[in-house]
Amino acid sequence: MKKRSILRRISALLLSTTMLFSIMGCKNSNLETTQLSFKPGTYEASSKAHNGDLKVQVEVDDTSIKSVTVIEHGETPNVSDAALEKVPAAIVTTQSVAVDIVSGATYTSNAIIEATKIALQEAGGNLELLNVKKEQTEKVEDIEKTADVIVVGAGGAGLAAAVSASQNGASVIVIEKMPSVGGNTIISGSGYNAVDPKRQEPLGIEDSIELHYTQTYEGGDKLGNPDLIRTLVENAYPALEWLESLGMEYTDNLITVLGGLFPRGHKPVKPLGTGYVDAYMNYINSNDVEVMVETKAEELIIEDGIVTGVIALGANGNKVTLNANNGVILTTGGFGANVEMRQEYNKKWPTLDETIKTTNAPGATGDGLIMAEAVNANLVGMNEIQLLPMGDPNTGSLSGKVGVGVASNVFINKEGNRFVAEDERRDVMTMALYEQTDKWLWEVIDSDTYPTPESKNNFNQTITELVEQGIVIKADSLEELAEKLDLPYENLKASLDKYNEAVDNQGGDEFGRKILEQKIDTAPFYAGARSITVHHTMGGLEINTSAEVINKDSEIIEGLFAAGEVTGGVHGSNRLGGNALADITVFGKIAGENAAKNKLK
């Protein structure tokens, strides 16, 4: 009797559960088929994006979303362009706010979606109904194309290679897995190291190619390939002139990039790395160079030991086969955004797990390394992974950085003390930061860096914007700064007094700092929080000075070239700040020229 009663209860429970799921299923089904309803008109709403508020204008009729337009924003050109175009279009096409974000532009994508939700709610829209995801099922055919040179990756190295190959008479196709071009270059600090007497001598700076070579070689603990380093430093300025011939503009003021060791950093007129990308794309758009975004390379085509093309995946899952008459250039970047790969190769740092953010674009996942290793390419220096002490504590990004050069800042820990020379090598500064409370520092500067409210950092952000967004703390006295940062005032004052005394004496800094150009003693004071972030992976494909890829038997892989962060051997154990832009330009240009002249058998 008792057993039968239990069975009845189980049966009743199962029946009620089945009814519940049935009701829920009906509810979802009803949501999917219920027609949208709005109060016709045009509505505007705003949401917080990466660089401040973003405003949309949404037009609706009785039953549909007619248009979504971003009418105001402060997002970075090129970086956010794909999101600004694709997200509003997807909302209108699917009649839903449950649309995919654009990789590499997460903040912009989410801001568009959130602002659109607010506007649609004001129009009387049912948010539950609008949140039903609707797939776009457009069928796309497989593609096969042929060009002289196929470039894989549309960051700075890839675009340099594409332009160079084109200028040397080759037909070129560039593929990029992300929705827009630019890679790490477009979000970089953008300083470009080159010995440049024309700009340096008027500033009283004595420099030489030999000094640049020595600092690069010794700064990488003599682990870099001397021939590659020599190629880099000797061609850095000619490559800069080549960039200028494409329309790239630099100021005449040279800086010492963080970890750059010397004032040979050329600062672009345009913010971030947008000037580089604009210069390349202006050429590409005016010439017969094809760029295919949202096209992910998956494997190299190899015939009789010769690389003859690439097989890729298109945006809609279609197969893309690209045949090369002359060669393939890999410019896919490093693996700074691949946590698993970072952990696999890390031999130096306490941890590089997901708690350590990265400055890298999300596309830096080591794809090119994996593809090339599958055709027997040799990898060198993979354990050499560079970190910076300059990442946003929440995102790892370099944006929001309050300092604009090594000469103008000091690093203060949570106890109010300096702890390292701010002009040291990047690995030295970062290892020192690992030992500080919460791996946290305050970058402190004064009003000499920002003489007006509209003065900007290297990321085109004004000091007013940085303060309003809470990224930077402003104080009208040192006491107020200590209070706002929750630091012992006595320690902060003593730290700055000692530093300022070293500037006055032009020596004697307690941490051995050599760049002692600017005191920090004039209110208002500013401070920005910074932490450890993965910045550059120095290891990668072994190449020669012609940018040809070398296999595990020390032989050239016919038809395969590489440039930029996908390669190894240029920087040794530590990359000097400002050398990356020179590296990708010099070797991108070399790879493009040599691939254009190469004829496959």
CB 315 within 8 A of CB 295: yes
**Do 356 and 398 reside in the same domain of the chain?**
no
CA 597 to chain centre: 32
Comparing CA positions, the residue from 259, 195, 229 lying closest to residue 570 is 229
CATH of the domain at 148: 3.50.50.60
Q: Is residue 8, in this structure, part of any structural domain at all?
A: no
What pLDDT, in 10s, does the model give residues 339-350? Answer: 999 999 999 999
Residue 30 has pLDDT above 50, yes or no: no
Averaged pLDDT score across all residues of the chain: 91
**Do 46 and 65 reside in the same domain of the chain?**
yes
What pLDDT, in 10s, does the model give residues 506-541? Answer: 999 999 999 999 999 999 999 999 999 999 999 999
CB 399 within 8 A of CB 431: no
- Residue 137: what pLDDT? 55
**Do 179 and 91 reside in the same domain of the chain?**
no
The span from the CA of 256 to the CA of 569, in Å, is 23
Residue 91 has pLDDT above 90, yes or no: yes
The span from the CA of 475 to the CA of 524, in Å, is 6
Confidence of residue 146 (pLDDT cuts 50, 70, 90): very high
What pLDDT, in 10s, does the model give residues 368-418? Answer: 999 999 999 999 999 999 999 999 999 999 888 998 888 889 999 999 999
**Do 64 and 126 reside in the same domain of the chain?**
yes
What pLDDT, in 10s, does the model give residues 37-81? Answer: 999 999 999 998 877 789 999 999 999 999 999 999 988 777 788
Domain boundary among 516, 533, 550: 533
The span from the CA of 517 to the CA of 204, in Å, is 13
**Do 155 and 291 reside in the same domain of the chain?**
yes
Comparing CA positions, the residue from 330, 329, 323 lying closest to residue 308 is 323
What pLDDT, in 10s, does the model give residues 489-512? Answer: 999 999 999 999 999 999 999 999
- Residue 568: what pLDDT? 98
- Mean pLDDT along residues 566-572: 98
CATH of the domain at 513: 3.90.700.10
Per DSSP, the residues of 576-590 read: PTTHHHHHHHHHHHH
Q: What is the largest CA-CA distance in the chain?
A: 103
The span from the CA of 70 to the CA of 93, in Å, is 16
**Do 408 and 469 reside in the same domain of the chain?**
yes
Confidence of residue 14 (pLDDT cuts 50, 70, 90): very low
- Residue 31: what pLDDT? 47
> Could you count the other beta carbons within 10 Å of the beta carbon of residue 350?
12
- Per the model's pLDDT, the better-predicted residue between 25 and 275 turns out to be 275
The span from the CA of 156 to the CA of 293, in Å, is 15
Residue 95 has pLDDT above 80, yes or no: yes
Complete edge-to-edge strand list for the sheet that includes strand 265-268 = 192-193, 265-268, 250-255
Q: Which residue numbers are catalytic?
A: 426
Comparing CA positions, the residue from 519, 412, 523 lying closest to residue 477 is 523
Non-local CB neighbours of 50 within 8 Å, separated by 6+ positions: 75, 76, 80, 107, 108, 111, 399
Q: Is residue 94, in this structure, part of any structural domain at all?
A: yes
**Do 150 and 122 reside in the same domain of the chain?**
no
- Residue 564: what pLDDT? 98
Confidence of residue 18 (pLDDT cuts 50, 70, 90): very low
- Residue 135: what pLDDT? 67
CATH of the domain at 48: 3.90.1010.20
Between the alpha carbon of residue 284 and those of residues 160, 281, 294, 308, 584, the distances in Å are: 10, 5, 18, 23, 17
Non-local CB neighbours of 273 within 8 Å, separated by 6+ positions: 156, 182, 184, 185, 186, 187, 188, 190, 581
Q: Are strands 540-542 and 567-568 parallel, antiparallel or unpaired?
A: parallel
**Do 472 and 489 reside in the same domain of the chain?**
yes
Q: Is residue 113, in this structure, part of any structural domain at all?
A: yes
Angle at 90 between CA 86 and CA 95, to 5 degrees: 160
Per DSSP, the residues of 537-553 read: E--EEEB-TT-EEEBTT
The model carries a pTM of 0.85
The span from the CA of 368 to the CA of 549, in Å, is 12
User: Which of 91-105, 129-143, 162-176, 547-561 is predicted with the least confidence, judged by mean pLDDT?
Assistant: 129-143
Q: Is residue 11, in this structure, part of any structural domain at all?
A: no
Torsion of CA 574, 577, 583, 585, to 10 degrees: 160
- Residue 139: what pLDDT? 67
Per the structure, the complete domain to which residue 420 belongs is given by 388-533
Residue 26 has pLDDT above 50, yes or no: no
Percentage of the residues of the chain whose pLDDT score is greater than 70:
93
Q: How many distinct structural domains can be found in the chain?
A: 3
Confidence of residue 258 (pLDDT cuts 50, 70, 90): confident
What pLDDT, in 10s, does the model give residues 449-477? Answer: 999 999 988 778 899 999 998 999 999 99
Comparing CA positions, the residue from 114, 128, 61, 60 lying closest to residue 83 is 114
Amino acid letter, residue 140: V
